[in-house]
Structures are given as structure tokens and as C-alpha cells.
Amino acid sequence: MLTKISGFTLIEVMIVIAIISILASISYPKINNYLNYFTLTTELNQLISDLQWARQQSIVSKIKHGIIFYPIESKYQIVKDKINCKVIKEVSLSEDKIRFGDITFPSYKGGKAIFFKILGNLDNHNGSIELIKAGYGSKKIVYSSNAGVININ
């Protein structure tokens, strides 16, 4: 007596693979767009966190803290004491084609700098920092001097 063996035919497997391939090719641009958004937002959130930390340290320690941006090297340094500039932390932007765009803060020691007074307000004028993700777009942080307000565009 012959027993019937159940399974899939080669044509059925090929049809399933074709359907999966079509769905993957349709969803790839959306997934890639989301990954670009995620990497840019992650870098932006890290920068905002570092700005807030420097501001908080200025208030707590009664010593000016700030961040010096080096756009060409795609890095920034968190520093203590505007005169001596003791580097507390150095952060390089990710290798994921994220770089600084327009930074409107004043030039300082080979870069652009933002410093906070001991009351938490900016030591100089209002300004903005732009982060650019190649092939995706940009996000801009606008910092207001009086109340330390951060707006993200």
C-alpha cells in the first residue's frame, strides 16, 4: 500500500519567496527612512542632554561650563571654566554620516562655543546648532539665552 507524503511543491515555495521579495522591496525605503530618522534623533538627544548637563553644572558648581563645537572634526567638548577650559568630556558624532551644519554661536578657541553663566543663562547671545544626516535631512536646536529654552526644528 502506498502512503501519501504531504509537503509543498517547488512552485508553491517559489511563489512564497516571490511574495516576500516584493513586500521587502516595497518596505525597504520606509525602513531606511526610519533608521535615518532614528540615528539623527539619537545624536540630537545626546547633544541636548549634554547641553542641559553643562547648564546644570554651571548652576550647581557656580563655575561657567560650556560646550565647544568643532564642526570640521564633527566633535564637541564639554568644558569647565571658560578661561582654563578643562575638558570634562569629548563627544564625536557617529560615523553614520552625521555632521554639524550651521552653528551660530561665537567663535572660541578654534571652534564655536556656548557657555552658561552661574544662573544657567547663556554667557553670550542666542544661537542655534544644526545636525545634518547625509541623504536624509537636518534638525536644528535653537537656544534662547534668558531662560535656557531649547526649541527643536
Q: Which DSSP string corresponds to 83-132?
A: TT-EEEEEEEPPTTTEEEEEE-SPEETTEEEEEE-TTSSBSS--EEEEEE
Q: How confident is the model at residue 7 (pLDDT cuts 50, 70, 90)?
A: confident
- 31-62 confidence digits (pLDDT tens): 888 888 888 999 999 999 999 999 999 999 99
Total count of domains within the chain: 1
Asked whether residue 25 is domain-assigned, the answer is yes
Asked whether residue 143 is domain-assigned, the answer is yes
Structure confidence at residue 17 (pLDDT): 96
Judge contact between 98 and 133, C-beta under 8 A: yes
Asked whether residue 7 is domain-assigned, the answer is no
Q: Write the CATH number for 37.
A: 3.55.40.10
Asked whether residue 45 is domain-assigned, the answer is yes
Asked whether residue 1 is domain-assigned, the answer is no
Q: How confident is the model at residue 146 (pLDDT cuts 50, 70, 90)?
A: low
Asked whether residue 2 is domain-assigned, the answer is no
Domain boundaries, position 144:
14-152
Asked whether residue 4 is domain-assigned, the answer is no
Q: Is 85 helix (H, G, I), strand (E, B) or coil?
A: coil
| Cα–Cα distance, 94 to 100 (Å, whole number) | 11
Question: For 103-116, what is the mean pLDDT?
Answer: 89
* Chain centre to alpha carbon of residue 74: 11
Asked whether residue 95 is domain-assigned, the answer is yes
Residue 120: other Cβ atoms inside 10 A: 15
The residues facing 113 across adjacent strands are 68
Distances (CA, A) of 67 to 39, 102, 134, 148: 21, 15, 24, 14
- 19-37 confidence digits (pLDDT tens): 999 999 999 988 888 888 8
